[in-house]
Amino acid sequence: MSIATLSFAILLALSGQARAEITVDGKIDPAEWQGAQHVTDFRITQPLTGAPASQPTEAWILATPEGLAIAFKNVQPANVERTRQVIRRDEQAQVDRNNLMIDFGDGNTGYNFMVTSTDGINDAVITNENRFSTDWDGNWKHAASEDAEAWYVEMLIPWYIAPMAKGRDGKRTFRIYLDRVIGSTGERSAWPQASFERPRFLSDFTPIEVPVYNQSLVAITPYVSGLYDNVNGNGSFDTGADILWKPNGQFQLTATINPDFGQVESDDIVVNFSANETFFSDKRPFFTENQGPFEFTTPSDFSQLVYTRRVGGPADDNSGPGDITAAIKANGSFGKTKYGVLLADEADDVGRTFTAFRLSHDYEKQSVGMMLTEVDRPFFDRTARVFGVDQNWRPNEKLSIQNRLIFSDIDEGADANDPIGNNLSDSKTGDGFTTIIDYEMDHGWRQQLLGMHFSGDLEINDFGFLSRPNLNYGHYQVMKRITDLPKDSKYSSKDWRARISATYNDSGLNLSEQFRLSRQDQLKNGGSAYAQINVNTFGYDDRVLRGNGFVKIPSNFNAFIERSRPRKGDWEFYGNFGVSNYGVGDDSENGDRKLGWNTQFQPTYYINDSFSLYTILYAERTPQWTLWEGGNLLGTFDEHAQQLDFGVNWNIGNQHEIRVKMQALGLDATLRQAWRVQDDGTPLPSDDAIDDFSLSNLGFQVRYRWEYKPLSYLYVVYGRGGDLFNEFSEGSRDALRDSFDIRDSEQLVVKFTYRFEL
């Protein structure tokens, strides 16, 4: 080869390398995307027709040394309205958007990366085939642009973003899914033709083969925060750090030192007088980063073996939140076997120690895993261990089976705070299982069979979350999805569901037998509607008396309907309405059981695409609100509640955000009747004195957030709130008015985080 020829070959190779370097600017340069896999066969999955997309969509997939690059070209002519609303990170809104979802070879966990036409983003972890959690925030590149013909999105997902398969012979296999949503109509078109409305979603992704690239990452994110308490007139200062090390795609280590408990996030107001705990999600970076491998749901409501809000939650001696000294988490893989270890330790003599170990293996048609957790609680001389086995089995394309098996082992010694000093120890074990069988038939028909058992001695809430043990539940559900609707119909799909279910406790007590009928509608204007009615036979409530027996519940029904209309012009609307005649006692003993109701209306006004205001107007009446008063004593109250929410969302570009959030609640409860419950569950009217009461609650926050570089933030947060309980009735409107005077807490928080990447 001559020198000239060799020089030309080198120059050609160098020019090819230059073309392969992706500049993430939202502008698709054909030279940059040479050699990329080109995708054009997008099929409609909302509604789930499988027809070709109404608007042409193209995508490019290219593996580069810097990460997996994805580009979209979304043709959208002038007669199809474009949405240019700016959203904050992880906000759910009906806007034009693209989604990239990837299973990096785990088989159990996927990652969703969403970019809107205005470059807003959402990232989430996908578990249990179709369960999304937006608590996780990743560091990845994205950009969007538009012209008269189309709008465009580019993404670059670094190789260190998540655990992934090691690969063989220089190749690595992922499973991938791409989609495009038209905000003004709600149409979703995807490649491949997979849908999260089906029981199988993650396992229906398309496999792609890419060269093996690896990137290492060391990220240290220290924080400093200052808090001034304007009620007590004092302040505090705190500091800590999160550390992340990913030497390769098969191992990653995260640690945190003195994490805060998320003072810059606010939970919604919840009034809960029931025996069941309220679930809250976690926003602390350490507990959301790569938490997917530790997902072990029952699945039942929010039930799970690792509920990270326990760590740093209320201390066992009721002295306030637990003080987390440090926590560490490691996860990785050996071939198709994945593992994870989580350790967290709280300070002081009453501090708890949390441990979790996770192991799973992915086969061709199923995944099998186990989890072991342990919590040491020295204040109670208690050690709680929980062991679980989970299986997700996909025998064929139509059948999916999920199995969960759980065992708990509790060792509890003498209570050091027991004045009697019995010095007795106690050990007990419990068990539970869940089986869900989903079968997808032809022409939109589906069936589901679910069985669930939690023994009375099952205890997983030292580290996990279970709304209640002592439960046996089963249901059979048949579903029919209708998509072949007339062209002039305002609906794009209708989904009918009919269910029969039965709930018993472990003693064979009938808690409920129910028939449910529901319908979910998707409308061609991008909106949705839902309606449901439940008819319940006679049963018992074994929770309301807190272990002092059970109470008979007459047959009853409840119904609910909701409707949402996405933004059209300057307005967006949501509303719902529900009715119920739930209560205790026969009609002959209690007069007539009047119909209770609740309603909510939420209008949102957009001053412009970046600035919106919303209000939520909520009201309810429960004529026979049943509350435990101690022992076998119940009170039924005529309850009225009003809640007023107000908020402002101002997204200043994609880096600055100002958010105002206010929730004010007024509740009033007037006694209708006191009841003494007999041994057989019969409630008998009594003359016990029970006070009327009223409750006021306020939560108010103004928050400024500046993301001055990826995952580095400055927060300035003002918060005020509290609650007021009165042992007299004053009317829900007056109680609501009183809430605005509440000042139990008033704080100013400034928090600064900076992410160093090495």
689-723 pLDDT tens trace? 999 999 999 999 999 999 999 999 999 999 999 99
Distance CA 185, CA 309 (A): 38
Residue 244 lies in a domain: no
Q: Are residues 608 and 740 in the same domain?
A: yes
Q: What is the pLDDT of residue 334?
A: 83
Residues 112 and 177: their CA atoms lie apart, in Å, by 9
Residue 50 exposure: Cα atoms within 13 Å on the Cβ side: 5
Specify whether 694 is located in the same domain as 594. Answer: yes
In a domain? residue 631: yes
- Assign 80 to helix, strand or coil: coil
Same domain, 196 and 86: yes
Q: Which domain holds residue 746?
A: 228-237+543-550+565-758
pLDDT tens track for 345-395: 999 889 999 999 999 988 888 889 999 999 999 999 999 999 999 999 999
Q: Within a domain: residue 124?
A: yes
Domain presence at residue 649: yes
Encode 205-258 in three state secondary structure. CEEEEEECCCCCEEEEEEEEEEEEECCCCEEEEEEEEEEEEEEECCEEEEEEEC
- Return the closest-CA partner of residue 69 out of 261, 213, 190: 213
The predicted structure's pLDDT at residue 19 = 46
**Which one of 214, 248, 275 terminates a domain?**
214
Q: Please, are residues 298 and 408 in contact by the beta-carbon 8 Å criterion?
A: no
Do 160 and 62 share a domain, yes or no? yes
| pLDDT beneath 70: ranges in the chain | 1-20, 261-264, 266, 299-300, 414-425, 586-592
- Same structural domain for residues 233 and 104? no
What CATH number does the domain containing 177 carry? 2.60.40.1190
Is 618 part of any domain? yes
Classify residue 524: in a domain, yes or no. Answer: no
Entry pTM: 0.88
Taking Cα atoms as reference points, which of 293, 278, 225, 286 lies closest to residue 254? Answer: 286
- Do residues 140 and 233 share a domain? no
Bridge-partner residues for 5, per DSSP? none
Residue 53 is assigned to a structural domain of this protein: yes
Number of domains in the chain: 2
Residues 26 and 67 in one domain: yes
Are 121 and 233 part of one and the same domain? no
Residue 130 CA to residue 568 CA, distance in Å, equals 29
For residues 105 and 232, state if they share a domain.
no
Please say whether the beta carbons of 568 and 556 come within 8 A: no
199 and 233: one domain? no
Residues 101 and 232 in one domain: no
Domain boundary among 181, 214, 247: 214
Residue located via tokens 């957790």: 373
Of 145, 166, 147, 187, the residue nearest 27 (C-alpha): 145
**Do 632 and 743 share a domain, yes or no?**
yes
Backbone angles phi, psi at 216, to 5 degrees: -105, 155
User: Of 179, 214, 249, which closes a domain?
Assistant: 214
Determine, yes or no, domain membership for 82: yes
Peptide bond into 378 cis (omega under 30): no
Q: Is 431 exposed, middle or buried (0-12, 13-18, 19+ CB in 10 A)?
A: middle
What pLDDT, on a 0 to 100 scale, did the predictor assign at position 73? Answer: 98
Question: Looking at residue 403, what is its pLDDT?
Answer: 95
